[in-house]
C-alpha cells in the first residue's frame, strides 16, 4: 500500500475520532455545514462552540505545518469563476440536504442512518457525473 | 461552570483534530478529491481510505453513545430526528454533488484550507457562506417567520450535519 493511502487511512481515523469525541462529550453531530449554519445564527446557544470548532478546523493545517514542516499540498483545477459558482451550490445544497461529507458521510454512515445513506449515494453519483461531464467538455 | 469551559475546549479540540486529520489525509487537495470522483479517468482511491478510517472510528463512538443516557458534558444527545427520505434531502445532496464535482471542495476542507492563505480558498468559502445564508434566510419576506421556526428547530438543525 503506498504511503499516501496509509496517511489517508490515519487521517480518516482522526476525523472519525473528532466526530466520536464531539458526540460522546458534547452530544452533537460533527457536521461541518451544520456547524457553519449554527455559527451564523446570532444568539444561538451553541454559537460560540460552533465558531470555536471552525477555528479548530482552521488550526488543523497549522498544526500539520508545525509537525511536518510544510503546508499540505493543494492544487486548484477549477477557475475562480467556477469555484465561486461551485461554492454557492455547495453552501445551498448542503443546507437543503441537511448535511455534507462530514455529517452524512462520516457521522450518518456510522449511525446507519437511511437518510444519510441516500444522501451519500446521491452526492457521490452527481459528483462523479459532474467530473465526467467537465472532462468531456473542458 | 467547569462543564461550560470543558464544552468550549471540546469544540476547539474536536475541530483541531478534524482539521489535522483532513490535512494528513490529503483531502485538503481538491485535485485528489476530484480524482476519486473521476472513475472513468485518473482514479485516485484516497478518499475511500479516508472514509473507511473515519467511519470505523466514528462507528465505535456511536456504539459507545448508545450505552450512555446522555453525553458526558450535556444532559441529552442532540441527534437528527427526521427519518423519511424527502425531496429536500435528495435535491440538496444532488446540488451539493454538482458543486463538489466542479470544485473538489466540501465545507470541512473549504474552512480548513483557509489557513493556507490562498485566494481560491477564500473565493470558494465566501460564496459557500453566501449559499448557506441564502438557504437559511429564504425567502426574505418570511424572514421573521423562518427565524421563529429555526429557533424551534434548533435541536434538529444543530444536530444536522
Per residue in A49-101, pLDDT tens? Answer: 999 999 999 999 999 999 999 999 999 999 999 999 999 999 999 999 999 99
Whether B80 and A115 lie within 8 Å, measured CB to CB: yes
The complex's ipTM?
0.96
| DSSP characters over chain B | -HHHHHHHHHHHHHHHHHHHHHHHHTTT-HHHHHHHH-TTSS--THHHHHHHHHHHHHHHHHHHHHT-SS-TTSSS-B-----S--HHHHHHHHHHHHHHHHHS--HHHHHHGGGGT-HHHHHHHHHHHHHHHHHHT-SGGGHHHHHHHHHHTHHHHHH--
- CB atoms inside a 10 Å sphere around CB B43: 10
Chain A residues touching B123 at Cβ < 8 A: 80, 83-84, 87
Confidence grade of residue B140 (pLDDT, cut at 50, 70, 90): low
Confidence grade of residue A42 (pLDDT, cut at 50, 70, 90): confident
Whether B68 and A41 lie within 8 Å, measured CB to CB: no
Mean pLDDT, rounded, of chain B: 90
Which residue among B28, B112, B161 sits closest to A103, beta carbon to beta carbon?
B161
Whether B136 and A40 lie within 8 Å, measured CB to CB: yes
Which residue among A62, A78, A91 sits closest to B127, beta carbon to beta carbon?
A91
Rounded Cα distance between B92 and A118, Å, is: 11
Mutate to test the interface with B, among A23, A31, A138 (most CBs of B within 10 A): A23
**Of the candidates B158, B111, B24, the residue with the CA atom closest to the CA atom of residue A57:** B111
Is the predicted pLDDT of residue A112 greater than 90, yes or no? yes
This prediction has a pTM of 0.91
Segment B92-137, tens digit of pLDDT? 999 999 999 999 999 999 999 999 999 999 999 999 999 999 998 8
Assign A114 to helix, strand or coil. Answer: helix
Which residue among B53, B64, B123 sits closest to A84, beta carbon to beta carbon?
B123
Is the predicted pLDDT of residue B138 greater than 90, yes or no? no
Whether A29 and B23 lie within 8 Å, measured CB to CB: no
Confidence grade of residue B146 (pLDDT, cut at 50, 70, 90): low
Per-residue confidence (pLDDT) for residue A81, from 0 to 100: 98
Is the predicted pLDDT of residue A43 greater than 80, yes or no? no
Mutate to test the interface with A, among B108, B114, B123, B148 (most CBs of A within 10 A): B108
Confidence grade of residue B160 (pLDDT, cut at 50, 70, 90): low
Rounded Cα distance between B65 and B77, Å, is: 9
Nearest CA in chain A to B86: A115
Whether B104 and A64 lie within 8 Å, measured CB to CB: no
Mean pLDDT, rounded, of chain A: 94
Span A104-110, mean pLDDT? Answer: 94
- Cell output for A123: 452526492
Whether B93 and A123 lie within 8 Å, measured CB to CB: yes
Whether B50 and A15 lie within 8 Å, measured CB to CB: yes
Amino acid at each position: 500500500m503506498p504511503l499516501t493511502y496509509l496517511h489517508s487511512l490515519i487521517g480518516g481515523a482522526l476525523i472519525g475520532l473528532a466526530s466520536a469525541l464531539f458526540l460522546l462529550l458534547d452530544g452533537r453531530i460533527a457536521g461541518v455545514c451544520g456547524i457553519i449554519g449554527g455559527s451564523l445564527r446570532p444568539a444561538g446557544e451553541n454559537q460560540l462552540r460552533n465558531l470555536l470548532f471552525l477555528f479548530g478546523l482552521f488550526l488543523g493545517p497549522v498544526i500539520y505545518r508545525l509537525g511536518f514542516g510544510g503546508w499540505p499540498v493543494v492544487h486548484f483545477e477549477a477557475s475562480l469563476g467556477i469555484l465561486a459558482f461551485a461554492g454557492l451550490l455547495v453552501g445551498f445544497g448542503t443546507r437543503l440536504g441537511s448535511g455534507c461529507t462530514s455529517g452524512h458521510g462520516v457521522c450518518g454512515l456510522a449511525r446507519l442512518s437511511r437518510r444519510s445513506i441516500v444522501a451519500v449515494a446521491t452526492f457521490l453519483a452527481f459528483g462523479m457525473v459532474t467530473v465526467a461531464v467537465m472532462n468531456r467538455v473542458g | 461552570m467547569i462543564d461550560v469551559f470543558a464544552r468550549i475546549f471540546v469544540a476547539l479540540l474536536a475541530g483541531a483534530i478534524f482539521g489535522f486529520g483532513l490535512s494528513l489525509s490529503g483531502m485538503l487537495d481538491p485535485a485528489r478529491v476530484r480524482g476519486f470522483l473521476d472513475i472513468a479517468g485518473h482514479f485516485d482511491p484516497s478518499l475511500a481510505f479516508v472514509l473507511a478510517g473515519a467511519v470505523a472510528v466514528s462507528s465505535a463512538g456511536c456504539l459507545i453513545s448508545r450505552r450512555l443516557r446522555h453525553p458526558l458534558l450535556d444532559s441529552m444527545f442532540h441527534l437528527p430526528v427526521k427519518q423519511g427520505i424527502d425531496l429536500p434531502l435528495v435535491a440538496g445532496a444532488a446540488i451539493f454533488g454538482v458543486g463538489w464535482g466542479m470544485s473538489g471542495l466540501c465545507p470541512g476542507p473549504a474552512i480548513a484550507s483557509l489557513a493556507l492563505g490562498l485566494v481560491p480558498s477564500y473565493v470558494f468559502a465566501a460564496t459557500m457562506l453566501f449559499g448557506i445564508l441564502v438557504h437559511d434566510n429564504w425567502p426574505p419576506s418570511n424572514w421573521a417567520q423562518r427565524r421563529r421556526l429555526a429557533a424551534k428547530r434548533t435541536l434538529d438543525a444543530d444536530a444536522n450535519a
